[in-house]
């Protein structure tokens, strides 16, 4: 199997990657800060389910086919970019709608709060679907695994078992980091749930997500 020094080197590499602020961090923080603890854990589980899938596909050599096929890579890249821009744009659009509602409030008893509030899919499954889609539609995740995983898998080892082990290390570190993010968000939950704070948080998160989508579309 994998030598311990190689395992520690891999853990250090993916640990630093996990700590780097990015799309996953923005999604988890935003969801947890709004009080959707269950959905936040769904997002975490979805992201890590995607990581496991990438690890398995890379171990089987399937991801390498993706990165070497220009058509497959470009299709996934544009699908991921469109999804991220749509998700970020939807968050931004929701904040503009709330501004409009604040300026022109509707009569009491209307369904405005349902349309502009937390939404109807604040569930573990809803978060899992969002996290999974975000991870699997990111071809850079596959490219990273193709470039890194083979370097840590011994030639005489089972590629599938070693790949799952390495992906498991990545997942473990990411879940630990997610625990810290969700705990931090819960501490400031009351402040962040104020309408003005939520508007700023949604606009910031929406901008970050849409920007990642645009970067992916531009191939950066």
Task: Kindly report, residue by residue over 69-121, the tens digit of the pLDDT.
Answer: 778 778 888 888 898 899 888 888 888 776 555 554 554 444 433 333 444 45
Cα separations in angstroms, 151 against 100, 154, 168 = 54, 8, 16
138 Cβ contact partners less than 8 Å away, ≥ 6 residues apart: 23, 80, 216
**What pLDDT sits at residue 185?**
87
Nearest CA to 46 out of 139, 127, 165 is that of 127
66 Cβ contact partners less than 8 Å away, ≥ 6 residues apart: 57, 72, 73, 76, 139, 142
What number of other Cβ atoms are within 10 A of residue 40's Cβ? Answer: 27
Query: What is the Cα–Cα distance from 195 to 141, expressed in whole angstroms?
Result: 35
| Phi-psi category of residue 109: left, alpha or beta, with phi > 0 → left and psi -120 to 50 → alpha | left
**What parts of the chain have a pLDDT lower than 50?**
104, 107-120
What number of other Cβ atoms are within 10 A of residue 26's Cβ? Answer: 21
Query: What is the Cα–Cα distance from 162 to 58, expressed in whole angstroms?
Result: 11
Half-sphere exposure at residue 214, Cβ-oriented, CA atoms within 13 angstroms: 8
Under 8 Å between Cβ of 173 and 56: no
Query: What is the Cα–Cα distance from 41 to 116, expressed in whole angstroms?
Result: 22
What number of other Cβ atoms are within 10 A of residue 184's Cβ? Answer: 14
CB neighbour class for 183 (10 Å; exposed up to 12, middle 13-18, buried from 19):
exposed
**What pLDDT sits at residue 100?**
56
Q: What are phi and psi of 216, to 5 degrees?
A: -65, -40
């Amino acid at each position: 199997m994998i030598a311990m020094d190689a395992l520690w080197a891999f853990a250090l590499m993916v640990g630093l990657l996990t700590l780097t602020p990015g799309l996953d961090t923005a999604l988890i923080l935003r969801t947890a800060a709004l009080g959707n603890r269950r959905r936040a854990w769904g997002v975490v589980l979805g992201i890590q389910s995607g990581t496991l899938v990438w690890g398995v596909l890379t171990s089987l050599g399937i991801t390498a086919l993706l990165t070497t096929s220009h058509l497959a890579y470009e299709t996934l890249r544009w699908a991921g970019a469109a999804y991220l821009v749509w998700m970020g744009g939807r968050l931004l659009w929701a904040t503009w709608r709330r501004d409009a509602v604040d300026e022109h409030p509707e009569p009491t008893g209307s369904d405005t709060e349902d349309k502009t509030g937390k939404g109807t899919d604040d569930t573990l499954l809803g978060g899992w679907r969002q996290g999974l889609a975000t991870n699997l539609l990111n071809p850079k995740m596959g490219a990273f695994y193709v470039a890194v995983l083979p370097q840590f898998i011994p030639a005489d080892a089972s590629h599938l078992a070693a790949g799952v082990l390495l992906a498991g290390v990545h997942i473990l570190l990411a879940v630990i980091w997610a625990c810290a993010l969700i705990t931090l968000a819960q501490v400031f939950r009351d402040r962040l749930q104020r309408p003005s704070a939520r508007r700023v948080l949604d606009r910031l998160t929406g901008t970050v997500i849409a920007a990642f989508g645009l970067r992916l579309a531009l191939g950066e």
